[in-house]
Structure 1
Amino acid sequence: MEPSKRVSALSHWIYSVSPRQRLKDFLFIFIGVVMASIGLKGFLFPNGFFDGGAMGVSLLLQIITPLDLSTLIILVNLPFILLGAKQFSIPFAIKSSLAIFALAFLVHWIEIPAITSDKLLIAVFGGFFLGSGIGFSIRGGAVIDGTEVLAISVSRRSSLTVGDFITVFNVVLFLVAALFVNLETAMYSMLTYFSASKTVDFIINGVEEYLGVMIMSQLSDEIKAMIAHDLGRGVTVLKSDAGFGKNNEHLPDKKVLFCVITRLEVTRLLSEIDKMDPKAFVIQYPIKDTKGGMIKKRPLH
């Protein structure tokens, strides 16, 4: 991003985002930093567990260097913050910088007694608190672990997806960790990572995961009316060109219905469709997020 565009993006964020929205962003980031600190100081650190991503790199460097962990957290994440400013925006980089500095401060100064010594509980609940911290920070428009920024940048330049890169990165990290500590601790640390990643998904996406549903039926008009009036959801009618049947006969053109619903509504939708047309062909697939329409968008801030 060119310097003039960066300044423009920063000015746009300052003047266009309401004070209430900025306060909400920083509240989410504050909650995220506190939750992550509890996970690190109350579960992982007292028991010698590792984390994935930039925090895991910082913990490894702490073993082989004389530097303090809080200093390493800042140094390891600094390149990712700069990359985020270049790839995304200055406001993103500012909020991420504040979040990472706050996390480093709390890690250095607060003292939390070890909550448990049970390794399975440490892995599960340590990952839960850490994942909550990452998730709330993302909802506030920032990151406290810069590897996601690197993953997005790599995915734009290669065939790897963001998830693929993060997985490969952390597998390599835990293999290295096994050399410096022991295999058992590295394995429990992997459980921590999986617990954290699932918690992040839950906080970002919630229980109301969106599903796209395509319906092909001879009773498309009736099903469309049911979705609009009974479910109160928007529905789009797509006109499809006919194909050929199994006996090579030409099939008539059909209407394809498309709607977006939450996972909690899909059972009712399928039940209503089955009542109207048991032979209807229904396709479901997950949707990451939506904007506009009749489904209220889940705020990420």
Structure 2
Amino acid sequence: MNRKTSFKKKLKYFISREAKKVGLLKTLRSISREKYAEKISASLLYGLLSAIAVNFFFQPGHVYSSGVTGLAQVLSALSQRTLGFEIPVSVTFYAINLPLLILAWYKIGHKFTVFTFITVTLSSVFIQLVPKVTLTQDPLINAIFGGLVMGTGIGYGLRSRISSGGTDIVSLTIRKKTGRDVGRISLMVNGAIMVFAGLLFGWQYALYSMITIFVSSRVTDAIYTKQKKMQAMIVTSHPDRVVKMIHKKLHRGVTCINDAEGTYNHEKKAVLLAIITREEYSDFKYYMSKTDPKAFVSVAENVHVMGRFVDMD
């Protein structure tokens, strides 16, 4: 019985190990069919820009970034004061992200985790290799330009649908489980960073860090437009054709109001309402010009949506 039990355990372990290999191979093959070059380029750009922001602006100015990067700065500063030696920001950044990457592998998806792992690794390597340069000791200038550089990297990363890890993983895990966006996590982490900045270097540096977070978020929003919703109202004589186009090309739903009437020619038309993202707007204009160039189209920007609206991957 003992031999049989031992053999069964070994067989089960072997099958499990081979299944994991097959799963990883499938993930890598599916990635190779996508525009992975664009994602890798975005990971490289984010890694380089985050390193420039940290080593040229944040560290010399004692200014803290948002999210895990700022948390890594805090832990690095605390190690200097409590242990007598400084643990590099690159090491603390990587150490915080490793358990989160394991969580992402099992809870979010393999493809997401692979690209996040690449981004986190490149960021850590660049932060370690890029030398610290003190361009200015003015904390306000460091806060503004550090936020500008970091926000640019985050914005282009999000446009290429890559994640820099950290609080993104926790938020996505909870959103996938509960269906709700969790903004409190970032708020709590950033709040803790501000408190530590104030305690370590003085409360004026906490205010400078708030400026960094504000500038970074504004630049990110300016570059990453996918989350901005737009409402398109289409008055058309060919509703079936337009609806088919929106369904097939943009994968969006449409609300149709039939028997509308133009007051000049008293021609019967249909009014279509569709919610799209700012990222999809150029495609929408192109396909509309091909589908029904005579349609009247009105677009309202930055609309607020209640109910089910799916963000495309």
User: Is it true that 1:238 corresponds to 2:256 in the alignment?
Assistant: yes
Aligned to 2:231: 212
Aligned to 1:117: 137
Task: Report the Cα offset of residue 289 of structure 1.
Answer: 7.6
Task: Report the Cα offset of residue 286 of structure 1.
Answer: 4.9
Counterpart of 1:212, as a letter, is: Q
What does 1:221-236 correspond to in 2, within 5 Å? Answer: 236=254
Distance 1:10 1:159, change over 3 A: closer
Counterpart of 2:51, as a letter, is: S
User: Is it true that 1:45 corresponds to 2:65 in the alignment?
Assistant: no
Distance in 2 of aligned mates of 1:209 and 1:54: 25
Give the TM-score normalised by structure 1.
Answer: 0.68
Checking the alignment, whether the CA contact within 8 Å between 1:92 and 1:141 is kept in structure 2 is no
Counterpart of 1:175, as a letter, is: V
Distance in 1 of aligned mates of 2:76 and 2:46: 23
Distance 1:35 1:15, change over 3 A: same
User: Is it true that 1:93 corresponds to 2:113 in the alignment?
Assistant: yes
Distance in 2 of aligned mates of 1:182 and 1:164: 25
Checking the alignment, whether the CA contact within 8 Å between 1:134 and 1:145 is kept in structure 2 is no
Distance in 1 of aligned mates of 2:277 and 2:151: 26
Aligned to 2:286: none
Distance in 2 of aligned mates of 1:72 and 1:290: 32
User: Is it true that 1:26 corresponds to 2:44 in the alignment?
Assistant: no
Aligned to 1:244: none
Where in structure 1 are there 5+ consecutive unaligned residues? 241-253, 266-276, 292-299
Counterpart of 2:67, as a letter, is: G
Aligned to 2:185: 165
Distance 1:145 1:123, change over 3 A: farther
What does 1:1-301 correspond to in 2, within 5 Å? Answer: 10-18=24-32, 21-65=35-79, 66=83, 67-156=87-176, 161-205=181-225, 209-213=228-232, 236=254, 238-239=256-257, 257-259=272-274, 260=276, 262=278, 285-286=303-304
Where in structure 2 are there 5+ consecutive unaligned residues? 1-15, 244-248, 259-268, 283-295
Distance 1:121 1:68, change over 3 A: closer
Counterpart of 1:62, as a letter, is: S
Q: Percent of pairs identical after alignment?
A: 19
Distance in 1 of aligned mates of 2:73 and 2:115: 23
Distance in 2 of aligned mates of 1:138 and 1:221: 35
Task: Report the Cα offset of residue 4 of structure 1.
Answer: 8.7
Task: Report the Cα offset of residue 139 of structure 1.
Answer: 4.1
Distance 1:7 1:49, change over 3 A: same
Distance in 2 of aligned mates of 1:156 and 1:127: 29
More relative contact order in 1 or in 2 (CA 8 Å, sep 6+)? 1
Distance in 2 of aligned mates of 1:26 and 1:85: 19
Checking the alignment, whether the CA contact within 8 Å between 2:60 and 2:134 is kept in structure 1 is yes
Task: Report the Cα offset of residue 126 of structure 1.
Answer: 0.5
Q: Aligned Cα RMSD in Å?
A: 4.2
Task: Decide which moves more: 189-198 or 39-48.
Answer: 189-198
Task: Report the Cα offset of residue 257 of structure 1.
Answer: 2.4
Counterpart of 2:230, as a letter, is: L
Distance 1:9 1:261, change over 3 A: same
Checking the alignment, whether the CA contact within 8 Å between 2:239 and 2:270 is kept in structure 1 is no
Counterpart of 1:106, as a letter, is: F
Give the TM-score normalised by structure 2.
Answer: 0.66
Encode CA deviations 1:196-238: one digit per residue, 9 max, x unaligned.
22222333227x94402458xxxx557979x99xxxx999452
Counterpart of 2:272, as a letter, is: L
Distance in 1 of aligned mates of 2:149 and 2:89: 19
Counterpart of 1:34, as a letter, is: L
